[in-house]
Structure 1
Amino acid sequence: MRKAVMPVLSAGRAAFGWIGRRIGPGRLLASGLLLLLLALRITDPPPVEALRVRTFDALQVLSPRVPPADRPVAIVDIDEASLREFGQWPWTRTRLAAMCRKLQEGGALIAAFDIVFSEPDRLSPPRLAETLPDLSEAARADLRAQPDSDAVFAKAIGHLPVVLGQTAASTPVAWTGREPPPQTGTAVVGTDFDPETALIGFPGLIRNLPVLERAAAGRGVFTISPERDGVVRRVPLVLRAGGTVVPTLALDILRVATGADTLLIRTDEAGVVSIRLPELTVPTDPHGQIWVRFSLHDPGLYVSARDLLNGTVPPERLRDKIVLVGTSSVGLLDNRTTPLDRSMPGVEIHAQLLENLLTGATLTVPNEATLIEVGATAAVSLAIILFAPILGALGLLLFGSLVAGQLVFVSWYRFSAHGILFDATYPLLTTFLVYLTLVFTNYFREQAGRKRIRTAFGRYLSPDLVEQLAHSPEPLRLGGEERRLTIMFSDVRGFTAIAEFYKTDPAGLTALMNRFLTPLTNAILDRQGTIDKYMGDAIMAFWNAPLPVADHEAQAAAAALDMLARMDALNAARQREAKAGGHPVLPLDVGIGINTGPCVVGNMGSDLRFDYSVLGDPVNVASRLEGQSKLYGVKIVLGAATADAIRARFPVLELDRVRVKGKSEPETVFTLVGDEDFRRSEPFRQLAARHGAMIAAYHARQWDETGAAAHACRALAEGLRIDGLYALYAERAETFRREPPPADWDGVTVATTK
């Protein structure tokens, strides 16, 4: 069996490899990503839907609905002013009956309540007769004789076409009437229709009192369910509540206005297609919902219930209008979030929905919208995958910009001109991700090539050069260029004694070398230096090549100070380890020489083997300067050119005029004694003044003054680790006092060692 399968697997791998070579790994990966994203759009999980609806929100924000000049809807608002004048809610039903009479007198076409009256009026006189304590029998009899408030309200409802509100409930609610509740008729046209699966459903329906339900011209559910993020975007026109199909408030208002007895629900295999009334067909989504095209919150829609009851409302405000009765009072908790407003009264959402339906301004998402979006996504993404290698980066950018602009234009045009919602964001996002996949695949391929170069040359070229070669391999040839460089040599003092200490532990010596060479190297690299080579315990480095460094002298000086600080930290750690282990330890001390000048830098060697290195007299001088650090008892020795470049920033002191070994011309050398902050300090100004006086006295053959200045400088330089320098000058002054130099003495010290 295994022998039979192996050829098949081999053939499969070969075929896949051939496809990968012909098409390319980038295209294969991008195609796989495209298939995944298309499947994601078809399944439409919540995050994808959230992205789409927020895009539709943005369209509404950019172009809110402009209400008609002659608005067909008005709102009687139970606002804060009304509650202050007539008391807290709920009001007695006789006051609501008075509102109905006022609406009838004002010429309202239909009144609708965004309120449910599911319980008897607690302020009805007959009810008060049974609930108020300490009433006389005469008073109680008088209250019983008064008309019931709910009956008064029902009578007022009967004189004006009124649509009462109902609300969906999360639990079943029993009907309290003796007869079955009034119900709006529905008829279904189309394929088999299952309201259990097609419509948004609730287990219960809270109705009004039976006496009110029978008196009303219509009944509609005012429940508004926001989406997952709390924003109201879609409102159902019909839903399933309490085991029956019921219209929502706005739809039943229109049914009463058109005189229809039945709602015609058209369906197909996907669910609801549309809902029809005489002279009005409203397309819906498969769940019977429509998208509301919102306008901004409009206070002009509102009439205060206080003004209505007091008779101060102008007649034209209500005449021939559909009047919704609701509340904007914050305490009654009926405010909602829309794409345009963070807090819009729920009654205004119903009012805007009515205007949408009456003016044909509703938004629609065609049933084929998903197919269109998937097709557009696939077409554009495949074009990018196919033409990316041909068009190049600039051509692909222009092509992508053109396609993105077209998608955005189509989405905006269909929304603004036809009220059709088309999501351009998912095609844009998908094509952008496909494009990024191609870009990153090419990037990783380039990185792999650069990694091969780093692996091949990283063992013997400086890190900066390796990185440069990874981006541009052309410099891999023999030759060099002249450039002004700063060169550093560093060496560990007394390394012979340290090596002898480890003569029986060569592995320990190797570990120690790695331990001190690593921080010294990092100090150089952190300051943009290039490591030329390691010579046992010594390091050669340079600045301003292969990459330019504007302030290379200062960077080298800062690196030298950092090297000393890191050596101090290493010595402290080794002392702690030695104390804990109970064994002796030899401290590490480093000397550093730095010089600046014109050099030749480039690939030096043969055709078969070469190194990126530097040649020139400044290199030799830097090496000699490092050797003089022990003689002068300082850590850092600077050449004159380096000192001149940094003396304005760093604390520099003159050491001597020296003729190093192998050189005929003397060199004035300096030392670096601290960082930039110390350069600006008063202690350094005092030290520099006394030090300058010492050097001047020395060259003037004033030996007593030289010795006195050396002792004074030694006291001022406490903690700077240059005591050996002033001990040297004190010793020289004493020696020349006993045996003065010859008359032709020029103050130059001849170095006898490297």
Structure 2
Amino acid sequence: MDILKIGKYLLIPFAVLISFVPVLDPFNAFSNLRNNSFDIFQNISPRKSLASDSVIILDINEDSINAIGQWPWPRSTLAELVDKTRLSAVLGFDVVFAENDRTGSKELKKLYKKNELLLSALDKVPNNDDIFADSIRNHGTVVLGAIPSNKEINKSFNLKFGLIEQGDNPRNFLPSYKGIQTNLLSLDNAAKGIGSMSIGTNDSIIRKLPLFENANDTLVPSLPLEILRVAIGATTFQIKSSNASGENAFGEKTGINHVKLGSLIIPTNQDGSVWIHYLNQPIKTIPIIDILDAKYSEEFFDGKILIVGTSAPGLFDLRSTPLENNIPGVSIIANLTDQILSGQFLKRPDWIFGLEIVTGLVLSLLITFSIQFSGPIGGLILFLFGNCLSFAGSFYVFNNLNYLIDPISPFLICLIAYLVVTFFNFFFTELERSKVRNAFSQYMSPVMVEKLAKSSESLKLGGERKEMTFLFSDIRGFTSISEKYKEDPEALTDLINNLLTVLSNEILNNEGTIDKYMGDCIMAFWNAPADDPNHRVKAIDAAFAMSEALEKLNKDLNRSDEDLLSVGIGINTGECIVGNMGSNKRFDYTVLGDSVNLASRLEGQSGNYGMQIILGKESIKNLDKHSYRIFELDMIAVKGKIEPVSIFTVFKNFNNQDANYNFSSEHTEFLKNYRSQNWAKAKEHIEKYRFSIPEFTLYYSLFLERIDDLSNQKLPEDWSGVFIAKTK
């Protein structure tokens, strides 16, 4: 089947699949962008008006701190604040009093244990914490803060409310903690309510707050929710989750649907949190020093919802919201408290996410078809028009219906679809032209292909002198292997193609250029056309990779031990002529030179020496001896040559047993004894290592035969140990 003909139609299912990327939400990218879009909506259209003027912040501001002293203040001062606001409907503290008053008599006694006169006097002084607790109790509607913790502290605390749970267990959906940091027991017992001050799972911007949290299986209401419970005189919360009567559950764990408090019904997200719709005006704030200085009468606070918090930067309770940066955390609590009273809630039901996916799917399909029939410009027009409608519709329902519909997910789905479809349209159009380039890449390195593509001068006849590294590989025993395929030449062709493919891939992966194929033999080179200072290393690494690839191919083809395919490789480095050679009408980029021929001869000798890889002396220059184990094998005059050359082999993973630790130096000594005609010493080394070092078994067997033959001959005194090869 022609991929060029069906390629464009394959883009349609791609457009469908890309629509589901928001479900995966890689790196939380879609979630973050979605939140940013909701932030923009809030900035454009914040909540317009207060539910009432009853919510007031009592501020521990810098003026109050300057007048009263550094925080924490004496509890007797806070008791005075509680007393002066005794007519309020509720007094909530966005503060935790977990430790004794540092100025109280109990703490002073610890500091002056040996001063009996002072201790006696302190016994007569009322303790500040007790004074504060009495004021809280007398007030009757004070709510204290608490902080959920992942430390196992205060695993249980005194609940001040009743709880009705309908449907699935809400604990399965709520943020969970091991414990909770509460106040001194005397203060908790005196308070009418205790609420969590946690900001939940928000990032640096507070967009929503949890109404409940799960602290060691105990449901803890948020501070705004508990403040409202006490303010309206309710005693019970009702949590309605999925699978409750009248509530749909489309999945196994859909989540919490709403919380009911008296006549107030608060719709929630699945995790029990509420989106905060921030006001476009500040909530009334009174510095605490003004109350203590009696600038406000007690009657002023009659029926008010008062929340104590701090705006002082030094107390580190500054937060960021979609509308502002660095605002007091107590302002967020006050905003949510007022929002619940107003009954104006931002809603994002489960079905909205599905709507966003469907919107993105429909638009991406329309854009795909538009590009196919009208080109990129037609697709771009539809992309812009469709997403403008999506953004406008999302803002309309936010502003008028308080629904949070994300325009970013459909936009990104369409953007990805548009870019990818446009790209592949161009790709499929240009694919025919690239066939020539692909054909070159089958036997040339990518660098060579690019050079030929960029410069027409590269296609002219001629060459240059250059040091290069050459590799020849040949499948051992391939003639006998071929005989087994006499009756099935197609299978032999498949085998050759498989062999050449896996071996060629490793050469190309190591930036080599394949010069030519000669039956089952491959000729390749490095350091041309582009310079490569690591050409020796890359050629050797290619040889190792070819060996590993062949092992894998043997396993994939399930070849028996007697029928395994093995490769011999010769590598040499030296000067040659490299360039385009041939006729004016037909030429190849190839190499010529004596160094090239030597590489071919070394490959032919690899089987004789029982080694997979044989290298010329120039190929081991500057190699990292820690990365490779290199051994000299012999001095040989290859067939057709008079001048001898030293040949070597190389291993990446060699036998490293402790017993063979000195093998390398002893092998060098063996060659010295052999060349000195010290046959006894040489044979002693062979007997020691011939079978204990399996990599050298065939090699030492060869030398044992040579020694037996040479020891019966009268050799000249200046005999250097050079072996004259009779075969290629």
- Give yes or no for TM over 0.5: yes
1:100 to partner: Cα distance: 0.7
Single out whichever of 326-335 and 35-44 deviates more from structure 2.
35-44
CA shift digits 1:111-167 (9 cap, x unpaired): 100011122223223442443356452x43232122222222122112331111111
Provide the residue aligned with 2:132 in structure 1.
Answer: 153
1:346 to partner: Cα distance: 1.0
Query: 1:71 aligned to 47, 53, 71, which one?
Result: 53
- Is contact 2:255-2:270 (8 Å) kept? yes
1:423 to partner: Cα distance: 0.5
Instruction: Classify 1:132/1:87 alpha carbon distance in 2 versus 1 (closer, same or farther; 3 Å).
Output: farther
Provide the residue aligned with 2:165 in structure 1.
Answer: 188
Provide the residue aligned with 1:240 in structure 2.
Answer: 214
Provide the residue aligned with 1:263 in structure 2.
Answer: 237
Determine if the alignment matches structure 1 residue 56 to structure 2 residue 38. Answer: yes
Instruction: Classify 1:439/1:193 alpha carbon distance in 2 versus 1 (closer, same or farther; 3 Å).
Output: same
Instruction: Classify 1:297/1:333 alpha carbon distance in 2 versus 1 (closer, same or farther; 3 Å).
Output: farther
CA shift digits 1:457-477 (9 cap, x unpaired): xxxxxxxxxxxxxxxxxxxxx
Distance 1:404 1:509 in 2: 57
Q: Give 1:150-299 correspondences, 5 Å limit.
A: 150-160=129-139, 161-174=141-154, 181-190=158-167, 192-193=168-169, 195=171, 197-225=172-200, 227-228=202-203, 230-268=204-242, 269-295=253-279, 298=282
Identity %: 30
SS at the partner of 1:274?
strand
Instruction: Classify 1:404/1:326 alpha carbon distance in 2 versus 1 (closer, same or farther; 3 Å).
Output: same
CA shift digits 1:592-648 (9 cap, x unpaired): xxxxxxxxxxxxxxxxxxxxxxxxxxxxxxxxxxxxxxxxxxxxxxxxxxxxxxxxx
Provide the residue aligned with 1:584 in structure 2.
Answer: none
1:63 to partner: Cα distance: 2.1
1:108 to partner: Cα distance: 2.4
Distance 2:378 2:188 in 1: 69
Query: 1:114 aligned to 78, 94, 102, which one?
Result: 94
Distance 1:377 1:434 in 2: 10
SS at the partner of 1:181?
coil
- Is contact 2:175-2:200 (8 Å) kept? no
Instruction: Classify 1:126/1:43 alpha carbon distance in 2 versus 1 (closer, same or farther; 3 Å).
Output: closer
CA shift digits 1:295-341 (9 cap, x unpaired): 3573x622111111111237786443211001111111111122222
Distance 1:246 1:360 in 2: 22
- Is contact 1:297-1:344 (8 Å) kept? no
Query: 1:424 aligned to 363, 386, 407, which one?
Result: 407
Instruction: Classify 1:255/1:68 alpha carbon distance in 2 versus 1 (closer, same or farther; 3 Å).
Output: same
1:30 to partner: Cα distance: 5.0
Q: Give 1:472-511 correspondences, 5 Å limit.
A: 510-511=462-463
Determine if the alignment matches structure 1 residue 399 to structure 2 residue 399. Answer: no
Provide the residue aligned with 2:678 in structure 1.
Answer: none
1:227 to partner: Cα distance: 2.8
Counterpart residue identity of residue 292, structure 1: I
Q: Give 1:21-100 correspondences, 5 Å limit.
A: 21=5, 24-41=6-23, 46-68=28-50, 70-100=52-82
- Is contact 2:51-2:339 (8 Å) kept? no
Distance 1:26 1:435 in 2: 13
Instruction: Classify 1:216/1:372 alpha carbon distance in 2 versus 1 (closer, same or farther; 3 Å).
Output: same
Determine if the alignment matches structure 1 residue 443 to structure 2 residue 419. Answer: no
Would you say how many aligned residue pairs link Structure 1 and Structure 2?
Answer: 436
Distance 1:399 1:128 in 2: 76
Counterpart residue identity of residue 271, structure 2: H
Instruction: Classify 1:125/1:278 alpha carbon distance in 2 versus 1 (closer, same or farther; 3 Å).
Output: same
Instruction: Classify 1:151/1:182 alpha carbon distance in 2 versus 1 (closer, same or farther; 3 Å).
Output: farther
1:170 to partner: Cα distance: 1.8
What runs of 5+ residues in structure 1 fail to find an aligned partner?
Answer: 1-13, 456-507, 515-754
Instruction: Classify 1:372/1:435 alpha carbon distance in 2 versus 1 (closer, same or farther; 3 Å).
Output: same
CA shift digits 1:636-688 (9 cap, x unpaired): xxxxxxxxxxxxxxxxxxxxxxxxxxxxxxxxxxxxxxxxxxxxxxxxxxxxx
Distance 2:164 2:42 in 1: 34
Counterpart residue identity of residue 334, structure 2: A
Instruction: Classify 1:366/1:175 alpha carbon distance in 2 versus 1 (closer, same or farther; 3 Å).
Output: closer
**RMSD of aligned alpha carbons:** 3.1
What runs of 5+ residues in structure 2 fail to find an aligned partner?
Answer: 243-252, 439-459, 467-728
Distance 2:390 2:212 in 1: 34
Instruction: Classify 1:435/1:351 alpha carbon distance in 2 versus 1 (closer, same or farther; 3 Å).
Output: same
Counterpart residue identity of residue 290, structure 2: D
Provide the residue aligned with 2:671 in structure 1.
Answer: none
Distance 1:430 1:330 in 2: 42
Provide the residue aligned with 1:408 in structure 2.
Answer: 391
SS at the partner of 1:420?
coil
Distance 2:256 2:436 in 1: 64
- Is contact 1:30-1:434 (8 Å) kept? no
SS at the partner of 1:368?
helix
SS at the partner of 2:405?
coil
1:219 to partner: Cα distance: 0.8
Instruction: Classify 1:265/1:454 alpha carbon distance in 2 versus 1 (closer, same or farther; 3 Å).
Output: closer
1:39 to partner: Cα distance: 4.7
Counterpart residue identity of residue 253, structure 1: I
Provide the residue aligned with 1:302 in structure 2.
Answer: 285
CA shift digits 1:372-424 (9 cap, x unpaired): 11111112212222343334444433333321121111110111112211011
Instruction: Classify 1:56/1:117 alpha carbon distance in 2 versus 1 (closer, same or farther; 3 Å).
Output: same
1:234 to partner: Cα distance: 1.7
- Is contact 1:42-1:370 (8 Å) kept? no
Provide the residue aligned with 1:386 in structure 2.
Answer: 369
Instruction: Classify 1:454/1:168 alpha carbon distance in 2 versus 1 (closer, same or farther; 3 Å).
Output: closer
